[in-house]
Structure formats: structure tokens, C-alpha cells
Amino acid sequence: MTVQTRFAPSPTGKLHLGHALSALVAYDMASKNHGEFILRFEDIDHTRVRSHYYREIEEDLHWLGITWKQKPWSQLDRLKTYQKALDELRLQDLVYPCFCTRREIDDELAQMTQAPHGPDGSHYPGICRDLTESQINDLLKTRIPSWRLNSQKAAHLATKLTFTDLKHGKIEVNALLLGDVVLARKDIGCSYHLAVCLDDAAQGITHVTRGCDLLPATHLHRVLQQLLKLPEPIYLHHELVLDEDGQRLAKRHQSQAISTLRDQGMSQAEVRSMLSSYQSDLAPLMNL
């Protein structure tokens, strides 16, 4: 097996130290195992993408010493594939159209005494889950729906699923963990969750390395892999880089942007050494 890893940033902001760690983990895992590192732009959310970030991200990665052979994929070239997968799920009755606005969902949640919730907040309260065909047809005349996974139905099909995380061990999948997640947004026709599973499979990614904030999402991804008959990668969810107040870095942390650190005169080695404590914990896991 040739090890294939990827770093999949969204061109919606500058790379910060947290991204640099993710990129270096993926790059080191590929290099140490004579594999290939792939850069992929997760750019389906055109409302937030800015064209200059593609180039800036590539520049920052090169400056960190990261290289790749394949031309980076843009998800915008793959919309038909995402659509086809959604159609497949629709044929199996595993997704349903949702016409709710955010406001309607929040109002419904506010009225519930015990709103179901998971690690990413409240679950969708199921308002559109049991609409009849004629209700759906009526609504379709005036509104574009998003499409949600029917997690209960999916859970019946995806029993006894697990995933292997090199740091956290073998984990049993909870197909209900995130509830009825949106798999196709009404404005863009797909979602991160659907696209990432299809792209990882299409690019032959053997090891998915990313921050541990996405560990809950992996439960859903394993379900989607099962439903869409996609291969199962091995995972490594690494710790998140924190700022001096112990908060995780976000795109608003301009001070920790790689380009800012570089402009302040920091060398590549100095930036890398800021991440070395996170990386040294992972070093033993890198020899596959």
C-alpha cells in the first residue's frame, strides 16, 4: 500500500499555525513512509472563498518546506460527483429535503424542553423529517431545500461500524452523534461532509490526518463511506494548536498567520519549532 495523505484547506483565509501543523503532520506521514502528500482546496463554499488565498496558501506551504506533485484539486470541478452521490442517497431514501430557515430551527429548539444535542451543538429537531410527498411538492414550488441525512435510517444500515485512529485507537461509530446533518446546502448543493468523503476516496487517501475538532465528524464520515461504498481510511486526529489564552486558533488570529510571522522576520525553522512540541508527541505514530 502506498501511503497517501492530504492537507485540505479552505481558501477562505490565511494559513495560521494550526493549519501549518495539520499540513506538516500530513506531509511528514507521507514522506516518512515513502508516500505521497496531496494538496486539495476545499472551496465549495463560494460565499466565503477569496481567489487570492489559493496562491497565498501555496506560498506559505512552500515556505514551510512542503511540496506536492499533483496539481491541487478544486472541489468546484467535482460538483457533478457530489450531486450523483446525493442522488444515490435520495434513491435509498436516506436523505430528505429540509425547507427550514435557521430562525425556524432556533424557534423550534427554544420550545423543546429537551433538545437533542451532540458535540457540535443542538441536533436538527426534525421539523421536515416526516413531510408527506404532497407537502414536499407544494413547498418545492416556492423554496429550494437543503438535504439532510436521516440519521435514524442510516444508523440501521450502518451498524457495528468502527474507525481506527492512530492516536485514539479503535473507535465505535455512533451514527446518531451529529443528528440529521445537512449533506447538501441549499445554496451550494453539497456540503463539507459529503465532499470530503468522496474526495478522500477518489484521491486514494489512505491516512486522513486532521485536527481533533473533526473527530466527531469522522463518525458521520464512516457512515457515509458505508452508505456510498467508499473505502475506509485510517485516521489521525492531532491536538489543536492553542493561543496563549488556551483558545484554539481561528482565521481571526491574524497574529498567528504564517505570513505575519514570516513578515516579522521569523525563519522557517523558528516557525516549525513553535510546533515541535505538538509534533514530537506524534512522531512515534508516523512510522507505519
The interface mask with ligand GLU, positions 205-224, x = CB under 6 A, is -----x---x----------
Select 49 or 196, whichever has its Cβ closest to ligand GLU: 196
Amino acid letter for position 51: S
Select 9 or 179, whichever has its Cβ closest to ligand GLU: 9
Residue 175 CB, nearest approach to ligand GLU (Å) = 19
What is the grid cell recorded at 58?
A: 501555496
Residue 145 CB, nearest approach to ligand GLU (Å) = 24
Region of 34 (left: φ > 0; alpha: ψ -120 to 50; beta: rest) is: left
DSSP annotation of 69: S
Q: Does residue 36 touch ligand GLU according to CB under 6 A? A: no
Instruction: Find the part of the chain contacting ligand GLU (CB under 6 A) among 6-14, 81-89, 244-252, 276-284.
Output: 6-14
Q: Does residue 9 touch ligand GLU according to CB under 6 A? A: yes
Residue 39 CB, nearest approach to ligand GLU (Å) = 11
Task: Give the CA radius of gyration of the chain.
Answer: 20
Terminal Cα distance for the chain, rounded: 11
Residues of span 38-67 touching ligand GLU by CB under 6 A: 42
Pairing of strands 207-211, 234-238: parallel
Residues contacting ligand GLU: total by CB under 6 A: 7
Distance CA 23, CA 13 (A): 15
Q: Which residues pair with 146 in a beta bridge?
A: 98
Distance CA 59, CA 129 (A): 45
Binding site for ligand GLU (CB under 6 A): 8-10, 42, 196, 210, 214
